[in-house]
């Protein structure tokens, strides 16, 4: 099997063929690939050990169980995805909208190129229990901070521009995540290519609209009345 996005993480890639630490790296890579192929619920520790070429004892020396290995692999993948987005934004010389589009293009292209990680990241994460849902929320917040950074860059020097609330940015990031998940379910990862223009238009309209709103909604549903 071709390596997944997890294999590109700086804590994984050098260890995959090394003598020391290789078992842990192989498990992180293997669980991503097995979950993508079988689904989280159907994946067993035995499946992961077989794919990683490690014993059960070695597996449990490194991880508490399937959930722990899955969540660590997910975290590593998000790190790589975020680093690619940051690099794309940094290398784009245009205005904040161009930089936002560059980041979204890196996001879309990475997910399109990494079908196994994408399946675990946008689909199987929902089947992995409460800790996985919390990990997804944390990832969404990280992407929300990327939107904030882009909009802050565009707001410099503009009078009267207010920053969207953290809740508004979370809604934007979660909405992008859900749209990508729907595309992957319906058409697979290759249909993600070209989505960056639509996502950029949505994000710009959302950010500017949220910033111009006279009232910021905060809190939970009880506070929305």
Locate all alpha helices (DSSP H) within 63-195, ordered by sequence: 66-91, 96-113, 115-118, 130-155, 166-187
If one compares 187 and 154, the residue with the highest pLDDT of the two is 187
- Lowest-confidence pick of 4-8, 43-47, 58-62, 75-79: 4-8
If one compares 219 and 146, the residue with the highest pLDDT of the two is 146
User: Taking the model in full, what pTM does it have?
Assistant: 0.81
Report the half-sphere exposure of 115 (CA within 13 A, side-chain side).
12
Local confidence band at 151 (pLDDT 50, 70, 90 cut-offs): confident
- Alpha-carbon distance of 191 to 225, in angstroms, equals 39
Q: Across the chain, what does the average pLDDT equal?
A: 84
DSSP string, 29-59: HHHHHHHHHH-TTT--HHHHHHHHT--HHHH
Closest CA relative to residue 6, chosen from 43, 24, 32: 32
What integer pLDDT is reported at residue 207 of this predicted model?
87
What integer pLDDT is reported at residue 120 of this predicted model?
87
Tell me the angle at which helices 130-155 and 196-212 cross, rounded to the nearest 10 degrees: 70
The string of pLDDT tens digits covering residues 79-136 is 889 999 999 999 999 999 999 999 999 999 999 988 888 988 889 999 999 999 999 9
Domains and CATH numbers, the chain: 5-62 (1.10.10), 75-214 (1.10.357.10)
- Strand, helix or coil for residue 28: helix
CA distances 212 to 117, 153, 160, Å, are 37, 16, 9
Instruction: Report the pLDDT averaged over residues 19-45.
Output: 87
Query: How many other β-carbons are positioned within 10 Å of the β-carbon of residue 86?
Result: 14
């Amino acid at each position: 099997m071709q390596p997944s996005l997890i294999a590109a993480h700086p804590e994984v890639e050098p260890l995959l063929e090394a003598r020391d630490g290789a078992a842990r790296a192989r498990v992180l890579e293997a669980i991503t690939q097995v979950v993508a192929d079988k689904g989280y619920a159907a994946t067993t520790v035995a499946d992961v050990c077989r794919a990683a070429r490690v014993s059960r004892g070695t597996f449990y020396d490194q991880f508490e169980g399937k959930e722990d290995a899955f969540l660590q692999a997910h975290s590593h993948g998000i790190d790589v995805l975020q680093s690619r987005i940051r690099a794309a934004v940094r290398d784009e010389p245009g205005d904040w909208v161009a930089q936002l589009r560059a980041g979204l293009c890196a996001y879309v292209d990475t997910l399109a190129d990494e079908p196994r990680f994408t399946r675990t990241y946008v689909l199987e994460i929902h089947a992995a229990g409460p800790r996985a849902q919390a990990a997804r929320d944390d990832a969404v917040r990280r992407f929300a901070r990327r939107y904030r950074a882009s909009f802050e860059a565009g707001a410099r020097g503009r009078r009267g521009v207010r920053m969207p609330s953290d809740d508004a940015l979370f809604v934007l990031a979660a909405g992008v995540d859900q749209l990508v998940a729907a595309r992957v379910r319906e058409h697979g990862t290759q249909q993600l290519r070209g989505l960056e223009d639509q996502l950029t238009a949505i994000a710009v309209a959302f950010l500017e609209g949220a910033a111009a709103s006279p009232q910021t909604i905060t809190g939970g549903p009880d506070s929305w009345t």
